[in-house]
Amino acid sequence: VNMASDEPKAKKPKLSEEEKYSLKPNDQILAEAKHKELFEELVKKFKVEYYAGGATQNSIKIAQWMIQEPHKVGTFFGCIGKDKFGEILKQKAEEVHVDAHYYEQDEEPTGTCAACITGDNRSLVANLAAANCYKKDKHLDLEENWKLVEKAKVYYIAGFFLTVSLESILKVAKHASENNKLFCMNLSAPFICQFFKDNLMQVMPYVDVLFGNETEAAAFAKEQDFDTKDIKEIVRKAQALPKDNKKRQRVVVITQGKDETIETFPVVKTDPKYIVDTNGAGDAFVGGFLSELVQEQPLDQCVKAAHYAANVIIQRAGCSFPEKPDFK
């Protein structure tokens, strides 16, 4: 489940404009009224590229790409508008063999996300629009959709969705816990840890695998009064939080960009001159991880696949990939 979006991308405006829109490197924020101009400005001033995106949808399509066959191993739920971008998302999902089932509504247009790139940093401004309109009773609860949930073995939801439909997340999370299936979640952004921490902590007892980067982990630790800035200690404390399904120990995976991933695994090094766009690297990391997790591979193999996928994605524009992976 995810905010579905079609991501315009361009080089970032000058510093004065950066200040104007309150953008920070490697940050993710929700669009406010003042950001409406940003979207218009990007299209006017820069050669904008469009990619079918959305954090969870990116991860699912990367997982499918890593697995290759059979097709449609990943099912995706999200919300779109009845518009051009919505049609593009449906078409793009079909092209990469993802089994997408969208709740289509006409109150809001399909969500968009401006990805502003400077060097090897990116700053994201998400206009959720239709993604904010997902309704449990109108989509998740429908018999044909819930059957797809019951069929799945592994579930992944980005923390972004905590701002949209907590009841949908809890229904899926409780189903996973009660049936000893794997429920995975991403901290997604510092603001989720800060301003949606009550929702996050309602879901946390059901989380078997928790993803995040070092910035999100620091924000999470601060909000949870962990009283430490040491990433390894934050991982240990997050693992020790109360858990509903005692048959599985929680796994916490924190990435640190080009530095090692905590539970310590070396990262595939990339020459900075080959880095095109770091947007989507975290989504790709999760997708690579899930592609091995769903095949019941050990943790070190999951992380190896995650690093491989992220390394491929940062050398290409958007969350895009070559025809086939070269992963062993």
Per-residue pLDDT of 206-244, as tens digits, reads: 999 999 988 999 999 999 999 999 888 999 999 999 999
- Report the domain count for the chain: 1
Q: What pLDDT, on a 0 to 100 scale, did the predictor assign at position 256?
A: 78
CA distances from 113 to 3, 57, 222 (A): 10, 13, 27
Of 7-21, 115-129, 153-167, the range with the lowest mean pLDDT is 7-21
Q: Report the pLDDT averaged over residues 65-81.
A: 95
pTM: predicted TM-score of the whole model, two decimal places: 0.84
Return the beta strands (E) in the chain as ranges.
Answer: 2-3, 5-11, 27-30, 49-53, 75-81, 99-105, 111-118, 121-127, 154-158, 182-186, 209-213, 251-256, 259-262
pLDDT band at 63 (very low <50, low <70, confident <90, very high): very high
- For residue 235, being part of any structural domain is answered with yes
Q: Which of 36-50, 144-158, 234-248 has the weakest average pLDDT?
A: 36-50
In a domain, 267, yes or no: yes
Q: How far is CA 109 from CA 82, 106, 166, 204, in A?
A: 7, 7, 22, 31
For the chain, the helix, strand and coil percentages under 3-state DSSP, each to the nearest 5 = 45, 20, 35
Q: Report the pLDDT value the prediction gives residue 123, as an integer from 0 to 100.
A: 84
Distances, alpha carbon 23 to alpha carbons 18, 37, 117, 322, in Å: 5, 14, 11, 31
CATH number at residue 292: 3.40.1190.20
Please report, for the chain, how many H helices and E strands are present, in that order.
12, 13
The one-letter code for the residue type at 237 is: K
User: Could you tell me if residue 113 is inside a domain?
Assistant: no
- Domain extent, residue 202, equals 55-108+129-314
**78 within some domain:** yes
Residue 23 lies in a domain: no
Within-domain flag for 28: no
Other beta carbons less than 10 A from residue 9's beta carbon: 23
Pairwise pLDDT comparison (21 vs 142), residue with the higher score: 142
Q: What is the pLDDT of residues 241-263, one digit of tens each?
A: 999 999 999 999 998 765 555 54
Residue 108 has pLDDT above 90, yes or no: yes
**Res 282 pLDDT > 90:** no
**DSSP output for 91-147:** HHHHHTT-EEEEEEESSSPPEEEEEEEETTEEEEEEE-GGGGG--IIIIITSHHHHH
Mean pLDDT of 296-316: 86
Catalytic residues: 283
The whole-number pLDDT of residue 29 equals 87
In a domain, 185, yes or no: yes
31: in domain: no
- Average pLDDT across the chain, whole number: 85
**Phi/psi at 238 (nearest 5 deg)?**
-70, -40
SS3 54: coil
Gap between the Cα atoms of 86 and 274, Å rounded = 32
